Structure 1
Amino acid sequence: MLQPSRLPAAAGLPLALLAGMAIPAQSRVNGELGAALDDSLGAALVNFGMGLAVMILVSVLLPRGRAGFGQILPALRERRFPRIYILAGVIGAWFVLTQTLTIAILGVAVFTVATVAGQTLTGLVVDRMGIGPGGKKALTLMRVVGAVLTILAVAWAVSPKITGGGGTGDWLLAVLLPLSAGMAMSFQQAMNGTTGMHYGSPITATLLNFVAGFAALLVLWLVKVAVSGTGNALPDTWWYYLGGPLGCIFIGVGALLVRTLGVLLTSLGLIGGQLTGSLLLDLVFPAPGSTVVAATVFGTALTLAAIVVATLPWNMPGVRPLRRRARR
Structure 2
Amino acid sequence: MASTVGTTAVPQLKSPVRVLAVGVPLAVAAGLTLPIQARINGELGVRLHDPLLAGLFSFGGAALVMAVATLVIPSGRAAFAQLLADTRKRKVPWYFHAAGLIGAYFIFAQTSYVASIGIAIYTVAVVTGQTVSGLAVDRIGLGPGGKRAITALRVLGVLLTVCAVFWAVSPRISGTPNPAAMLLPLALVVLAGVLMTFQHAVNGRIAAQVRSPIPGTLINYAVGTVALGLIWILKLAFTGGQPTLPTDPWLYAGGVLGCINLVLSALLIRRIGVLLTGLSMIAGQLIGALLMDWLLPVAGSVIYLQTVLGTLLTLAAIVVAALPGSTLRLFWRRGHKQR
Q: Which deviates more from structure 2 when the two are superposed, residues 23-32 or residues 264-273?
A: 23-32
2:99 corresponds to which of 70, 80, 88: 88
Runs of 4 or more, structure 1, over 4 Å off, are: 3-8
Mapping for residues 1-328 of structure 1, pairs under 5 Å: 9=19, 10-163=21-174, 166-167=176-177, 169=179, 171-316=182-327, 318=329
Letter in 1 for 2:23: G
User: How far apart are the structure 2 equivalents of 1:58 and 1:282?
Assistant: 33
**Number of corresponding residues:** 318
Query: How many Å separate the matches in 2 of 1:278 and 1:20?
Result: 10
Bigger Cα displacement from structure 2, 77-86 vs 275-284 = 77-86
The alpha-carbon distance between structure 1 residues 207 and 180, as it changes in their structure 2 partners (threshold 3 A), is same
Once the two structures are superposed, residues 259-299 of structure 1 have per-residue CA deviations (whole angstroms, 9 ceiling, x without a partner) of: 11111011111111111111111111112112101100000
**Structure 1 SS opposite 2:118:** helix
Q: Deviations over 1:60-83 (max 9, x none)?
A: 122221221111211101222322
- CA distance in structure 1 between the aligned counterparts of 2:227 and 2:41, rounded to whole angstroms: 18
CA contact (8 A) 2:24 2:277 kept: yes
Cα displacement (A) at 1:6: 6.2
| Secondary structure of the structure 2 residue equivalent to 1:232 | coil
Quick check: 2:12–2:145 contact (8 Å CA) kept in 1?
no
Summarize deviations over 1:41-64 as a string: whole Å, max 9, x none.
211111111111111111112222
CA distance in 2, matches of 1:303, 1:150: 5
Instruction: Report the Cα offset of residue 98 of structure 1.
Output: 1.6
Matched residues in 2 for 1:235 and 1:229: separation?
A: 19
TM-score, normalization by structure 1:
0.91
Deviation at 1:196, TM superposition (A): 1.1
Q: Which moved more, 1:106-115 or 1:245-254?
A: 106-115
Letter paired with 2:205 = T
Change (3 A) 1:134 1:230: farther
CA offset at residue 5 of structure 1? 7.1
Deviation at 1:206, TM superposition (A): 0.9
The alpha-carbon deviation at position 219 of structure 1 amounts to 1.4
Structure 1 residue runs without a partner (length 5+): 321-328
Alignment check: 8 A CA contact 1:196 1:256 kept: yes
Distance 1:182 1:317, change over 3 A: closer
Q: Distance between the aligned counterparts of 1:181 and 1:317, measured in 2?
A: 33
Segments of 5+ residues of structure 2 without an aligned counterpart are 332-339
- Cα 1:199–1:77 change in 2 (3 A) is same
Deviates more, 1:247-256 or 1:311-320: 311-320
Native 8 Å contact 1:4 1:200 kept in 2: no
Which is worse superposed, 96-105 or 167-176? 167-176
Mapped to 2, the partners of 1:100 and 1:286 lie a distance apart of 21
Q: Is the 8 A contact 1:68 1:199 kept in 2?
A: yes
Q: In the TM superposition, what is the alpha-carbon distance from 1:231 to its structure 2 partner?
A: 4.5
Distance 1:272 1:231, change over 3 A: farther
